[in-house]
Structure formats: structure tokens, C-alpha cells
Amino acid sequence: MIAYFILVHRFPEQFKRLFRSIYLPGNSYVVHIDKSSGTALAHDLAVFLAPYQGVRILPARKALWGGYSLVDAELRGMAALLEMDPAWTHYINLSGQDFPLKSQGYIRGFLSAHPGRQFIRAVCQRSERPDTLNRVSHYFLELFGRIFRTGVARKFLPDASPFIGTQWKAVTRSFCEFVCNDARVLPFKQFYRRSFIADEAFFQTVLMNHAGHGEVMNDDLRMIDWVPDGDIKLRPRNFGSADMPALTRSLDLFARKFDGTEDRDVLGLLEAHLLTRAATHYRAVPIASPIAA
């Protein structure tokens, strides 16, 4: 069984199509609706989700890009999922603008074929991404819906190394239990609360500095096309109908991002793809080599 955590802040109709595409009785689902999205959207989605079993809406808080609030939301979501059902074995996080490229049967088959593996991008920040070290080398404050750069330097956690990747992951239940409940994670939570873009580094750093969680695959199982975007440097391009050949050939389980207001047809094409044999029947495929944890 799979536990899903979904972050939503806009496009309610698009979220509903995503949810229908990943819903399967026996799975567990926690949805976080950003508090800044307003009561109308929250009410709409609450009404939509009410008939489904195994679904919980997390108490809303603001989740700010670049802030630890995104990590906090995910930790609360993990904890809720752990409480809801003792049977699920894997956790997957999504945003409301993601969409699956494979059916739930295929995804279950894939995860069953790779037990104990953590699918999360993780590279050494010092050697591979030194340009991002300013995110942890100085104090940042998340206040009043903004991120403030204090300019105050600090040292990294003693006897630990910083890692970085993306926000997205498919990890085991045991890792979720560890990161939510083990006292050894508390210093990491305290440190990353004052960092920048913690959601791309906190989970990686905890995982790579504590052995015993199985093979780390340096793969988030997402098809993403990163394009330049000013000071942010890279952002995920919105996929459209013209990308369908690449989307249907992809071995990834999910793709992001999609914007139904830009392309009205691509989600319908993907929904049709999910009914095909290629998307429903898992077959063993080569995957990336694990990295040392």
C-alpha cells in the first residue's frame, strides 16, 4: 500500500483530476491546502474529498516557497499518515500540479520490486552544489509570509554533511517513522528551520547522515524539464500536449508541472494513457545505481 501527501494551493479542478488518477482503496491520502488559498477553495476540496475513504485533510497553515513551513507541512503529513494506517509501506509526495505517468498497479509493482530503496535525489552540497551553500551558511527567518536574509553567518551541524536534491521523493515507511519520531533528527529540524529552501535539503541531509535506511537511489522518479528563470536559475516547465510522446515513453512514475489553463488537452491525454498496457503493467527496467548513505 502507498501513502500519498499532496500539497495544494490553486487549480482545484486540476487537483481533482490528479486525485482521481491516483486514488485506490487501501492507499492512504493526506492533503494540505495552503491557508493562503482561501476558504472557498478549501471548502470546495473538502466537499470533493468527503466520499473517499482513507483520506484526511491536514489542518491548514501557510506554506511559503523557500521556507521551512514546507518541511513542517510534510512532517505533519507524514505523521498523520503513520497514524492513519499501519499497513502502507511507501510514501510519495506530490503537488496539485503533478500528474501520474503510470497506474497505481504499475506503481505498486515498481515499489514492490525495489523494497527498502529510497527514491530521492541527494548529492553532496559542498562538492556538487557549492553555489547553494549560502542557503545553510547563514541564518534565514520566515516571518510575516516572507523570507528574510539576515546576513549572519553560522557553521553547519557538527559531524554532519549537507546534502541537496529536490522536494520530491518516494521513500519507505521506516524512513518516515525515523524522520518524524527519532530524537537524533531534532538537531536537523532546529538547524533547517533557519535555512533557505529547506524542502530540497532537509530530508536528504537526514537520510545521508544516518545509515541503515537502505539504498539511496538519487532518483525522485519524476519527469521534470528544468528551464532558466532569472534569479531562481531553474524552474520546472509546464508540460503540454506536444510533450505527450516523451511523457508516455518516460520510465518515471510522475511528471511535473502541468497548468490546465495553458493546455486544456494534456491531462485528458494522460488520463487515456493511464488505461493503456504500457502504463498499467509493471515490467522490470534498469534504474540508477544507488549512492552510499
Task: State the pLDDT at residue 284.
Answer: 87
Q: Name the grid cell of 246.
A: 516523451
Domain residues of the chain, as ranges?
Answer: 2-280
- Domain 2-280, what fold? Spore Coat Polysaccharide Biosynthesis Protein SpsA; Chain A (3.90.550)
User: What does the pLDDT look like over 86-98, one tens digit per residue?
Assistant: 999 999 999 999 9
Q: Name the grid cell of 92.
A: 510519495
Task: State the pLDDT at residue 293.
Answer: 57
Residue 38's region, left for phi above 0, alpha for psi from -120 to 50, else beta, is: left
How many Cα atoms occupy the beta-carbon half-sphere of 167 within 13 Å?
A: 26
User: What does the pLDDT look like over 211-255, one tens digit per residue?
Assistant: 999 999 999 999 999 998 876 678 999 999 999 999 999 999 999
* Residue in 157, 158, 166, 159 with CA at minimum distance from that of residue 136: 157
2, 108 contact by CB (below 8 A): yes
At 289, phi and psi to the nearest 5? -70, 145
Percent of the chain with pLDDT over 70: 99
Tell me the C-alpha distance between 287 and 290, whole Å: 9
Q: Name the grid cell of 230.
A: 532569472
Tell me the C-alpha distance between 43 and 233, whole Å: 36
* Residue in 212, 264, 219 with CA at minimum distance from that of residue 240: 264
Q: Within its chain, how far is the Cα of 65 from the centroid?
A: 13
> Who's near 15: CB < 8 A, 6+ residues apart?
6, 8, 45, 96
Mean pLDDT (the chain, rounded): 95
User: What does the pLDDT look like over 111-135, one tens digit per residue?
Assistant: 999 999 999 999 999 999 999 999 9
Q: Name the grid cell of 249.
A: 515513453
